[in-house]
Amino acid sequence: MHIEHELTSDDDKATILIEGLVRDLRILHVTDSHMAEGDDRDPDALEHVTIVGGRFAERTPGGVPAQQVFRETLQRGKEQTLDAAAFTGDMIHFPSYRGIEVIAEGMAELGVPTLYTLGNHDWHFPHLPWNNETRAEHYPRFHSITDGNPTCHAIEVEGVRLITIDNSNYQVTAEQVAFLREQLGKGQPSLLFIHIPICIESLVPAVMEMWKAPIMMGAQTWTAKQQQDWLVRDNDLSTLDGVALLETEAAAGLAGIFCGHVHFAHADAYGDCGFQYVTTPGFEGGYRVIRLLPWR
């Protein structure tokens, strides 16, 4: 399967030519809006609505609430005549019922097939410990926007497989790797949507400059102090297996990986097979329209 990437300086676009594609497709990618929403269903979180909402409003275009930027982004997407949309986590800053409703309302408003995968803030209230137990406790809240399975999901749009894997704790499980391998083995062109980017050499310097830690999946240069500060453990064997899978012929049909987390845009090849696109955060007005074109 021939796949070719047309690179430009536009961080809000990605153009990929794919052999055998039936027609042009447009897919909206949005990540990291960090909306702080809440109501009396989550009383312990109400103070964070004001604190976090104000903090991110200082960084939005015009100093408006992050939800307003989110709505404006969706409107721009609708103007593109979309075929699908994917949201790759940290759309909300904590898992309040109201925040998840805002996401669901936006997804429904687009009127196209949608995918959602979680980020490291999606499932974590600031007053709770950041660990796998907290994530598991709040997973059920996301069932309505993840087709009942926040760990992994896939849909097909005009012969293209759109796949999500939750790597919001910097790890993936053996079951997720098996799911990814199965999806890639279907012989269709695929796009993978995750929150935390895969560690590739060209991404490392900018990540380290901004975050002072290698906050990427598969990174092997964490210091003990960085791991303690970010609550990140050594890579599980399954995580290393997942990263390795993306660099094998099994991933030859994977046209691109789309992610966020690090709060800046980046695009570059990984391994010998694919390309990774990191999208500008939604709270800054960022998004990416992925255009898939038949290769001739």
From 183, 118, 176, 128, select the one nearest 150 (Cα to Cα): 118
Average pLDDT on 41-57 reads 91
Q: What kind and span of H or E run contains 157? A: strand 152-157
Sheet of 114-116: strands edge to edge?
A: 3-6, 13-18, 288-294, 25-30, 84-87, 114-116
Q: Which residues, including other chains, have CB under 8 Å from residue 286's CB and lie 6 or more apart? A: 11, 12, 30, 31, 32, 265, 279, 280
Rounded-to-integer distance, Cα 81 and Cα 7, Å: 22
Residue 15 pLDDT level (bands cut at 50, 70, 90): very high
Rounded-to-integer distance, Cα 118 and Cα 200, Å: 21
Average pLDDT on 276-284 reads 97
pLDDT of residue 255: 94
Give per-residue pLDDT as tens, 255-271.
999 999 999 999 999 87
**CA–centroid distance for 49 within its chain:** 23
Give per-residue pLDDT as tens, 140-190.
999 999 999 999 999 999 999 999 999 999 999 999 999 999 999 998 999
Give me the domains of the chain, ranges plus CATH numbers: 3-294 (3.30.750.180)
Q: What kind and span of H or E run contains 69? A: helix 66-78
Q: Are strands 3-6 and 13-18 parallel, antiparallel or unpaired?
A: antiparallel
Does residue 11 contact residue 286 with C-beta atoms inside 8 Å?
yes
Q: Are strands 152-157 and 160-165 parallel, antiparallel or unpaired?
A: antiparallel
Residue 212 pLDDT level (bands cut at 50, 70, 90): very high
What are the φ/ψ torsions at residue 215 (nearest 5 degrees)? -80, 65
